Amino acid sequence: MLKNHLKLSLRNLWKNRLLSSLNLLGLSIGIGSVLTLLFSVYAYYVADANIPDQENIVYLKTHLTDGNSYNEVTYPLLDKILSTSPEVKAGTHMHGWGNIWLESDHKEFQKTTTYADPEFFEVFGLPLKYGNHSDALKEKYSIVLTDKVSKQLFGDENPVGKSLIAADTLNLTITGVLEPISPYSSFRLGVLLPNTILEDNPIFIRQTNWENSFSPIFLKLDEKADILQFEK
């Protein structure tokens, strides 16, 4: 019985092969779209799963009188918040200031460069493959690599303590390597440098006032903090 049904079905498919092909194509596209959507939802929820206490991490926005807003705020605002808001456990700037040129073994390369404060790891707690959170960005001439960049330069070797030349003149010491980051993560990191390295840059100094909004600020709040009260 089953054999006869299969034969009959195959004959009907062949007899109406154009319509059958269109139906199969539509079914394949439908299944593919559903799978893509499911994967996107899955990636969204697991991409930043390695960041602890995400529910207590907030960022600041600048709201304009015309109704528009953006994520950059004035640079000194972070210090003012940290000194006046006890519900904030830690905070960090996190911004770009040009992708710095680096040199290792006479090979030059340029990676996405992010500048942050030493408290970066207190806010986000991204796991380190090598190095320690407490001093990864403590020194002015330190640098933290992503796992991808580390492997490109040093293979599977632990590079902490090794040096890189930056901008032809700066001698940077590798103080940490991040665990692998999901390509769907909110972080698009290549190398991570401390903000203190920019203190000698006169253009940067001129921008760090109450008039220019160029740096996103992220805060780690106490678990018991009243977010609505804090916003006020």
Say what the pLDDT of residue 39 is: 47
Q: Note whether 117 and 164 are same-domain residues.
A: yes
Q: Note whether 41 and 60 are same-domain residues.
A: no
DSSP of 104-133, one letter per residue? ETTEEEE--EEEE-TTHHHHH-PPEEEE-G
Q: How many separate domains does the chain show?
A: 2
Nearest to 170 by CA among 193, 202, 203, 145: 193
Q: Note whether 97 and 8 are same-domain residues.
A: no
Q: Note whether 29 and 103 are same-domain residues.
A: no
The rounded average pLDDT for each run of 10 residues, N- to C-terminus, in the chain (232 residues) is 58 60 67 58 55 86 89 94 93 92 84 94 93 93 94 92 89 94 78 93 91 93 87 81
Distance between CA atoms of 120 and 190, rounded to whole angstroms?
15
Q: Note whether 36 and 132 are same-domain residues.
A: no
Nearest to 189 by CA among 135, 136, 134: 136
Q: Note whether 29 and 73 are same-domain residues.
A: no
What are the backbone angles phi and psi of residue 84, rounded to the nearest 5°?
A: -125, -10
Q: Note whether 42 and 62 are same-domain residues.
A: no
Say what the pLDDT of residue 217 is: 96
What are the backbone angles phi and psi of residue 112, rounded to the nearest 5°?
A: -55, 125
Q: Note whether 24 and 107 are same-domain residues.
A: no
Q: Note whether 80 and 35 are same-domain residues.
A: no
Q: Note whether 145 and 38 are same-domain residues.
A: no
Nearest to 216 by CA among 90, 113, 115: 115
Nearest to 93 by CA among 70, 72, 64: 72
Which long-range CB contacts under 8 A does 12-20 form with residues at least 24 apart?
A: none
Report which DSSP code applies to 188. -
Q: Note whether 25 and 67 are same-domain residues.
A: no
Start-end of H helices in 50-201: 77-84, 120-124, 147-154
Parent domain of 33: 2-46
Q: Note whether 35 and 69 are same-domain residues.
A: no
Say what the pLDDT of residue 75 is: 94
Whether residue 214 contacts residue 207, with contact meaning beta carbons closer than 8 Å, is answered with: yes
Q: Is 191 helix (H, G, I), strand (E, B) or coil?
A: strand
